[in-house]
Structure 1
Amino acid sequence: MSHDTHTSTSPAVFRIVDLFAGPGGLDVAAEALGHQVTGIEWDDNACETRAAAGMDTFAGDVRDYRAMDFPCAQVLTGGPPCQTFTVAGHGAGRRALDDVLEYIAQLHDAVRSKSTPWREIFRTWRKISEELRRKAAEADVVKAAKREDEAVRSVTRKAARKSLAEHGCSTEEIEFALKTLEAPLGLAHRDADVKNLFDALVSLEKSLDAHRARLEELGDERTGLVLQPLWWVIERSRRPGLDPYEAVVLEQVPAVMPVWKEYEKVLAALDYRTKTQMMHTEAFGVPQTRRRAVLMARYKTDVRELEETHHRYRPGGVPAASLDADRADTPLWGVDEASVGRRKKRRPKGPWVPMEAALKEARRIARETAPDLELPDRPAFTVVSNYGTGGDPAARGRRDHDAPSSTVTGKVSRNRLVHKGTNTDLPRFELAEAGVLQTFPVAYPWQGRDRSQQIGNAVPPRLALHVLLNVLEPKLSEEKVDARLDQAVEKLENWRLPSAPARIRRRKDLKGHPLNGG
């Protein structure tokens, strides 16, 4: 496999393997750019969506596959789950992050010297994997014991509640006693059964605290998943008979940026040039404020930082563009502004895209690409978040129709919509609308259960377009960059449902697959 930089006037077609592929945010963007993508995804619901969208998919845990299973893949992408890092700096999240950074340091030590034999590198990975498996197995045992204690506690609390009521205690007295785990003093002295019940509750609570502490020490089994992309890169770079990936693209929530920074040290030892960047999605034409930590890497080729194509959202700041504006001058989704070295003239930054504009455009496109889909023509509205702000559950965040959406999460279907300036309810977002706010095509076929969660977990395809174009075609001229992105945006916006769903593959289907050499 050649790793020369592609400089031909016609874009090269890359073969991509996408780990933790989700419902296909990066995949649909890659296909709009003309690349071929195979995703690996463990969630059956996301696999159903991918199949309906025609995405090539292997179902199962990424840990059940190996880089050597896909020797013909030229590019590795992925967004490993990292819920354990979202509270980094606070207890379990900080410990999980520290553990992962230590594992990365061990892998860095193993590959630092090019003369280190593969068996020594693999031995390091096997040691890490066995430690993670041991922790996961012990965690399962602790979780089972915790569930048993919780069941006993529930029965004991019920018995204590009944006993206190029989002794004439009021509801308030009972609730206070169960909260403090202290029986009314007089009853504890007079009635041995009451005393024994509360002694048992105190003992159970201590046992549960010990279980919680141990589980925090052992960590979440998902913590180790963030190591998988790095190991795949190492295996392709150092395992005899395999060639390095030409490019690597990884993205996740901001809390994972320290992991990507450590990744960079290992990738540098493997002859990759890297760039990490915290990206604001609305600054790349996504009608939503969301931050993503992105790692971009090319084998022996420099990677540029992506310049923002739209203004960042600030309440009362740059107004949104009108859909009636000349799209050739002010495109709805914008194009990539490349760095000074390759672009002498730049389009000025476009305004951030509001929800209203994105949904209006989606209704127009749906008439052609999904005529059976009925989307409401909404009046001026305000979105009331399902989440509280500032630690106050009652303080619900609010965004008006002429602003970008707040971060789309798995709870997007629970957000209230009200007439602007009132509390009069409007119909909540349809799934297709929530997908549009993530910049999925309006015709995208959300399937299975937990569809809102699938949408919330996905990488916005418009952001993926910018990242992939920057990494995979770094030497395009200004005119070529504009043309490639404009073409891809149009293709993405006008995406249509395939005539037949794709088959969901399993590990047994590897033989004969194009990325397996078939």
Structure 2
Amino acid sequence: MTSSGAAAPFLAKPRILDLFAGPGGLDVAAKMLGVPSLGIEWDKDACETRYAAGLRTWHADVSEVRRERFQKLPADLNVLAGGPPCQTYSVAGSGAGREALDKVKELIHRLVDGAGEENVDERLAEMGGDPRTALVLEPLRYAIKALACPNRNGRPFDVIVLEQVPAVKALWDVYKKALEKGLPREDGTRVRYEVAEVKTLHTEAYGVPQTRRRTILIARLAEHGVPPLPAPTHHVFNLRRPEEGGPDDAQPTLPVDGAAPLRPWVAMEEVLTSRRGPFEIVSNYGSGGDPKNRGIRTHKQPSFTVTGKVSRNAVRRHPNGPDLDPDRLTIPEAGILQTFPPDYPWGGGDQSQQVGNAVPPLFGMHVLAAALSLPLPPEERLRESWPRLDRTDTRYTDLRLEGCEASGGCGPDCPKPEDQASSSAASGSSRPRTGASAKRSAK
């Protein structure tokens, strides 16, 4: 099985820098593709999961690394990826969200026009407001910083991949124009990118057993050509016609434009194999403006979007029966619905938030494969056993030493304990947060 853009790979050795890396969804995808990655993650709970999963990690503030330690990043990193926190744009179009969006648009133009870091920081200070607003600028600031970094000899990132909730599409459109215009070098020349259409994709169209939408930006250096978007492999779930495109749909699926026929979307019963017999999940959220009108998905359908509140969704083992002793999804089950391996080593606290805030690895595989023109491995590999590293394991010790610069806990450059003590703290905290703790309300 190959990705939609699987021509000859144009990077001999792709190496990914994953900003706001969370518990590892994109890094698991990269590993399945055989691509090394390094993640930067603020939240200590997510870092605990990453260390146990054997993923290279810097436990750090993305902004602090850019300011103080960018030159220490491995010089061979040539793919920039990430999903910056975007809560402050969740109501874009009016009120605070519209205002935040306009502020960031202005700053994107300033950066592309050559404004220095101090100038941008001063403007951010003048704007005030939610400090998380600035975090969405970090991928662009990293891309520009690379052009002036002596350790990289001015080498730009060859590929940029960004993802977030649909509300951020207007911002990705501005990013697209900025990258196509070109990023400024100190000598006045520009580094131009070709950018695919910014589009909101349905994850169930890529085999993920849940309905979830993500807006994607894929850019390549102009010399590499226009990148493709990942081609869907499965049908999209239609809530109004829930049987359409499913395993029991009797209508044949015909090829389109030479592509392979779309497969049925994946139902929960296909992946939650430990749950025998019929069941249904009752959402924690109301619908249609009525908090009491809880949505219901059956075992023969994809799940709702897995969020940080996934543990609050009730699982009824007897559909249409009395609502007695409802069950709950376990963390491994929620992870499976996100397409993590069944025994992925979730660690630290607030694991529901970690699971809900992650990029589904299967979806990440499709996006990265398209961006890098790589063949997709069999989906079954994500259902294979994932090794857990014990704290006494030498590899675990080495990962923590790299990530925290300490073998037994956090080091001096890690985010302060009082600032990142728990990823379940209020999302309105005055401290800018990244990764799992910062992206909570965006889901």
Fold match by TM threshold 0.5: yes
For the Cα contact (< 8 Å) 2:15–2:35, is it kept in 1?
Answer: yes
Q: What is aligned with 1:43?
A: 43
Name stretches of at least 5 consecutive residues in structure 1 with no aligned partner.
Answer: 111-120, 136-217, 323-329, 331-336, 361-375, 511-518
Q: 1:239, CA displacement in angstroms?
A: 5.1
Q: What is aligned with 2:231?
A: 307
Aligned match for 2:287, one of 389, 394, 419: 389
Q: Please give the per-residue CA displacement for 1:379-426, whole angstroms capped at 9, x wherever unaligned.
A: 211111111112221111111111111111100000011121122444
**Counterpart residue identity of residue 290, structure 2:** D
Separation in structure 2 between the aligned mates of residue 11 and residue 444 of structure 1, nearest angstrom? 30
Aligned match for 1:428, one of 328, 335, 338: 328
**Distance change (3 Å), C-alpha of 1:239 and 1:496:** closer
Secondary structure of the 2:234 match is coil
Within 5 A, what are the aligned runs for 1:218-233? 218-233=128-143
**Counterpart residue identity of residue 428, structure 1:** R
Q: Please give the per-residue CA displacement for 1:91-124, whole angstroms capped at 9, x wherever unaligned.
A: 21121111111111212222xxxxxxxxxx4x2x
Q: What is aligned with 1:287?
A: 209
> 2:244 matched to 1:252?
no
Aligned match for 2:111, one of 107, 112, 116: 107
Separation in structure 2 between the aligned mates of residue 235 and residue 76 of structure 1, nearest angstrom? 12
For the Cα contact (< 8 Å) 2:236–2:245, is it kept in 1?
Answer: no
For the Cα contact (< 8 Å) 2:9–2:372, is it kept in 1?
Answer: no
Q: Please give the per-residue CA displacement for 1:248-268, whole angstroms capped at 9, x wherever unaligned.
A: 111011111111111112211
Secondary structure of the 1:503 match is helix
Q: 1:69, CA displacement in angstroms?
A: 3.2
Q: What is aligned with 2:372?
A: 472
Within 5 A, what are the aligned runs for 1:314-393? 314-315=238-239, 316-318=242-244, 320-321=246-247, 345-360=258-273, 376-393=274-291
**Counterpart residue identity of residue 165, structure 2:** V
Q: What is aligned with 1:127?
A: 119
Secondary structure of the 1:485 match is coil
Q: 1:9, CA displacement in angstroms?
A: 8.0
Q: What is aligned with 1:69?
A: 72
> 2:398 matched to 1:398?
no
Q: What is aligned with 1:497?
A: 387
Between the aligned residues of both structures, percent identity stands at: 46
**Counterpart residue identity of residue 308, structure 1:** P
For the Cα contact (< 8 Å) 1:79–1:250, is it kept in 2?
Answer: yes
Q: What is aligned with 1:19?
A: 19
Q: What is aligned with 2:97?
A: 93
> 2:440 matched to 1:440?
no
Separation in structure 2 between the aligned mates of residue 232 and residue 11 of structure 1, nearest angstrom? 20
Which stretch of structure 1 is more off in the superposition, 60-69 or 288-297? 60-69
**Counterpart residue identity of residue 263, structure 1:** Y
**Counterpart residue identity of residue 29, structure 2:** A
Separation in structure 2 between the aligned mates of residue 243 and residue 318 of structure 1, nearest angstrom? 48
For the Cα contact (< 8 Å) 1:318–1:352, is it kept in 2?
Answer: no
Separation in structure 1 between the aligned mates of residue 365 and residue 179 of structure 2, nearest angstrom? 23
Q: 1:314, CA displacement in angstroms?
A: 1.0
Q: 1:437, CA displacement in angstroms?
A: 0.6
TM-score normalised by the chain length of structure 1: 0.67
Higher relative contact order (CA 8 A, sep 6+): 2
Q: Please give the per-residue CA displacement for 1:435-476, whole angstroms capped at 9, x wherever unaligned.
A: 011111111111111100111111111110001000112xx6
Separation in structure 2 between the aligned mates of residue 395 and residue 278 of structure 1, nearest angstrom? 27
Q: Please give the per-residue CA displacement for 1:51-90, whole angstroms capped at 9, x wherever unaligned.
A: 1101100001101112433222011111101111112224
For the Cα contact (< 8 Å) 1:68–1:242, is it kept in 2?
Answer: no
> 2:188 matched to 1:298?
no
**Counterpart residue identity of residue 237, structure 2:** Y
Q: How many residues align?
A: 369
Aligned match for 1:272, one of 193, 209, 222: 193
**Distance change (3 Å), C-alpha of 1:469 and 1:80:** same
Separation in structure 1 between the aligned mates of residue 11 and residue 104 of structure 2, nearest angstrom? 37
Secondary structure of the 1:385 match is strand
Separation in structure 2 between the aligned mates of residue 24 and residue 51 of structure 1, nearest angstrom? 10
Q: What is aligned with 2:187?
A: none
Secondary structure of the 2:294 match is strand
**Distance change (3 Å), C-alpha of 1:427 and 1:6:** closer
Separation in structure 1 between the aligned mates of residue 404 and residue 147 of structure 2, nearest angstrom? 23
Separation in structure 2 between the aligned mates of residue 424 and residue 6 of structure 1, nearest angstrom? 50
Q: What is aligned with 1:415?
A: 313
Separation in structure 2 between the aligned mates of residue 8 and residue 105 of structure 1, nearest angstrom? 34
Q: CA RMSD in A?
A: 2.6
Separation in structure 1 between the aligned mates of residue 405 and residue 329 of structure 2, nearest angstrom? 40
For the Cα contact (< 8 Å) 1:107–1:266, is it kept in 2?
Answer: no
**Counterpart residue identity of residue 201, structure 2:** M
Q: Which one has the largest radius of gyration? A: 1
> 2:160 matched to 1:262?
no
Q: What is aligned with 1:59?
A: 59
TM-score normalised by the chain length of structure 2: 0.78
Name stretches of at least 5 consecutive residues in structure 2 with no aligned partner.
Answer: 183-190, 412-443
Separation in structure 2 between the aligned mates of residue 91 and residue 378 of structure 1, nearest angstrom? 48
